[in-house]
Structure 1
Amino acid sequence: MKNHAYHSVIFDLGAVLVDWNPRYLYKKIFATPEEVEHFLEHICTSDWNEAQDEGRTLQEGTDLLVSQFPEHETSIRAFYGRWKEMLGGPIPETVKILQQLKESGQYKLYALTNWSNETFPIALMEYKFLQWFDGIVVSGKEKLRKPSHDFYQLLLDRYEVNKANTIFIDDNLRNVKAAEAYGIESIHFQSPAQLEEELKKRGILN
């Protein structure tokens, strides 16, 4: 039976439904885990990648870092040149949860993702389950990203979603806290089993 408190479920994609991790690529490039971590902490950082997620072109982002760290040019260019090697595939247990929600026909399903508009089409081609959503809002296309409240509001406005009847799922605690501060009930995703338990607790899954 449907839980009438909830009408919509909003999913983050990376690390929730899609296993994306730059370490999959860089462990092929560097000899040691320490070198991989140093490179991702100091050169191709999360903040740098998020600027592309917010609409900066891959070319601009890459050229900027190459100018700052010319000695790492090959490794920097690999970030987007070999981007597909960062994809570990779908996270099957979470995809199964998404499928259960879809097949129930009781909830509208949306995705709100920080993702470059230039690489997102690759994921769309790779993963058929992305077609199950009633709507997807991609930060790179909108030039806005989580944790900006405007980005959450964009999805709510575009698909006429009432935040009072919505649950949001994200692996990034920063994004979860921002959604909650904006009045959207949220689950901090840590594993598919934990997500399933949280959804059952709320009566969203049987």
Structure 2
Amino acid sequence: MEIKNIIFDFGGVLMDWDPRYFFKDYFKDDEKMEYFLEHIAQSEWNEEQDRGRSLAEGTEIQVKKFPEWEKELKAYYDNWTIMLKSDIPKNVDILRRLEKTDYQLFGLTNWSEETFPYAVENYDFFQIFDGKIVVSGTEKLIKPDPKIWHVLLERYHLQISESVFIDDNPKNIEMAHSLGFKTIKINPDTDLELELKELGVKF
């Protein structure tokens, strides 16, 4: 089946986000930073904000659990924009080239509804999607729950067999593959153009 739709995750694919970009200077102690990110402000906690819980509520819940880390926990979302270091130029370049083709381009992202607007306002490539973006925090669904892919498919009347899904998270790739999408797993050294061409995408 000919590919017509190319669906991008954002974090790790088009955007370079990592809490270490802020906390490395904050702690000036890598061991303490890693402890904090693994046991206190762990990714599972942040994912609940991506699922739609407010940043204030998420912070309050965690401060009650770990009152001795209150200052650090409050610093997390207060300094979130520092964690969003930059775009990933080589992959954004591919997106800009795809804009000049006939492929339909979509976004499917695990992202807080409160922080996503900052990215859209500060990185112009989001305009390429022309609003065709499904955000987990808005939908109250999060990858790898298959329901969020079905939101995208139904909203934009897409056929899975005509669609490629690009993500950096193995669980999301695994789920998309099981649903029938062609998939590309992004690593730091992935040649996205080559991977797309191997699936039949023409530039």
Q: TM-score, normalised by structure 2?
A: 0.96
In structure 2, C-alpha distance between the alignment counterparts of 1:192 and 1:148, rounded to whole Å: 27
Structure 1 unmatched ranges of 5 or more:
none
Deviation per CA, 1:133-181: give whole Å up to 9, x if none.
1400000000001001100000000011111100000000000001111
How far apart are residue 182 of structure 1 and its match? 1.1
| Residue matched to 2:116 | 120
* Other-structure match for 1:160: 157
Query: Counterpart of 2:200?
Result: 203
Instruction: List per-residue Cα deviations over 1:41-65 (Å, max 9, x = no partner).
Output: 0010110000000011101100011
Deviation at 1:127, TM superposition (A): 0.6
Identity %: 47
> Contact 2:168–2:186 at 8 Å: present in 1 too?
yes
Q: Distance in 2 between matches of 1:33 and 1:73?
A: 19
Structure 1 residue 191: deviation in Å? 3.3
Partner of 2:125: 129
Alpha-carbon offset, residue 194 of structure 1: 2.4
Distance of 1:144 and 1:113 partners within structure 2: 10
Indicate whether 1:45 and 2:42 are aligned: yes
Alignment map for 1:1-206 (pairs within 5 Å): 5-104=2-101, 106-134=102-130, 135-191=132-188, 193-206=190-203
8 Å Cα contact 1:93-1:192 kept in structure 2: no
Offset at residue 31 of structure 1 (A)? 2.1
Report the Cα distance in structure 2 between the residues aligned to 1:78 and 1:191, rounded to whole angstroms.
28
Alpha-carbon RMSD across the aligned residues, in angstroms, is 1.2
Structure 2 residues without counterparts, runs of 5 or longer: none
Question: Aligned pair count?
Answer: 202
Contact 1:144 1:150 in 2 (8 A): yes
Tell whether the 8 Å contact from 1:10 to 1:111 is kept in structure 2 after alignment: yes
Cα deviation, residue 28, structure 1: 1.4
Provide closer, same or farther for how the CA distance between residues 203 and 191 of structure 1 changes in structure 2, counting only shifts above 3 A. Answer: farther
Counterpart Cα distance in 1 of 2:84 and 2:122: 10
- What is the CA distance between 1:192 and its match in structure 2? 6.2
Under a length normalisation based on structure 1, what TM-score does the superposition of the two structures give? 0.95
Structure 1 segments of 4+ aligned residues over 6 angstroms from their partners: none
